[in-house]
Chain A
């Protein structure tokens, strides 16, 4: 079946550190890939997305590149801030069929000043 695997958390970094959160997927076909962020007490917000191989999604300093050969969509940011503390979810969705998002287990990120 279709699934998403994220790096285990929690992740704790100091402000201005480099961030990588790994995400790999298993899918029959070529899904669109997403990163969502969940701040405390809030719903999920779309952070970035990529719809085909080699696409790079970017937003608020975060980037992720759709790598078909390694079935990966790792999230990166060059210099994190305290305000980036949240839970990050990698997800996939297919163009055809049910428009359901399939999520990874989430990675809790804490940034210390």
Chain B
């Protein structure tokens, strides 16, 4: 158990809908990362937050947004869902945003868009 929790574990929804994925980092970790794992794109970095502020952005679509709250949990919002958004979404956390801090991954949320 990495100490990173993600809810829900599974999510099934329809095209055009909006969903929110939630991540609670390890106790004391300030940095949260979101990754998407899909069959065609592999594992890709989406976005990083550090202590409530956006730190880095990767291949995140404009239909997707994220935030980190004062209690350090993070949410990833996916809107106008398309079939191609079906994927496993991982959250990871680290103590800070520094290079020497290991990223600990949660178990993921599997999103299926029908």
Interface residues of A (CB under 8 A from B): 32, 36, 41-46, 89, 93-106
Interface residues of B (CB under 8 A from A): 2, 4, 31, 33, 35, 42-45, 48, 55-56, 58, 90, 92, 94, 97-99, 101-103, 105-108
Contact partner of A44 (CB less than 8 A), chosen from B55, B58, B99, B105, is: B105
Q: Is A43 touching B4 in the complex (CB atoms < 8 A)? A: yes
Can you give 8 A-B contacts (C-beta < 8 A)? Answer: A41-B107, A43-B107, A94-B99, A99-B97, A99-B103, A100-B48, A101-B103, A106-B42
Contact partner of B45 (CB less than 8 A), chosen from A94, A102, A106, is: A102
Query: Most chain-B Cβ atoms within 10 A of its Cβ — which of A95, A96, A103, A104?
Result: A103
Contact partner of A100 (CB less than 8 A), chosen from B2, B56, B102, B108, is: B56
- The count of A-to-B residue pairs whose CB atoms sit within 8 angstroms is 59
Q: Is B48 touching A98 in the complex (CB atoms < 8 A)? A: yes
User: What residues of chain A lie closer than 8 Å to B2, measured between beta carbons?
Assistant: 43, 45
Complex Cα–Cα for A64 and B105 (A) = 21
User: What residues of chain B lie closer than 8 Å to A102, measured between beta carbons?
Assistant: 45
Contact partner of A46 (CB less than 8 A), chosen from B33, B44, B99, B102, is: B102
Contact partner of B99 (CB less than 8 A), chosen from A36, A95, A103, A104, is: A95
Tell me, rounded to whole Å, the shortest Cβ–Cβ distance linking B16 to chain A. Answer: 29
User: What residues of chain A lie closer than 8 Å to B101, measured between beta carbons?
Assistant: 99
CB within 8 Å for A43 and B42 given contacts A99-B99, A100-B48: no
Complex Cα–Cα for A52 and B3 (A) = 29
Q: Is A43 touching B105 in the complex (CB atoms < 8 A)? A: yes
Known: A32-B99, A98-B45. 10 other contacts (CB 8 A): A43-B92, A97-B56, A98-B56, A99-B56, A99-B94, A99-B97, A99-B99, A100-B58, A101-B33, A101-B43
Complex Cα–Cα for A46 and B94 (A) = 12
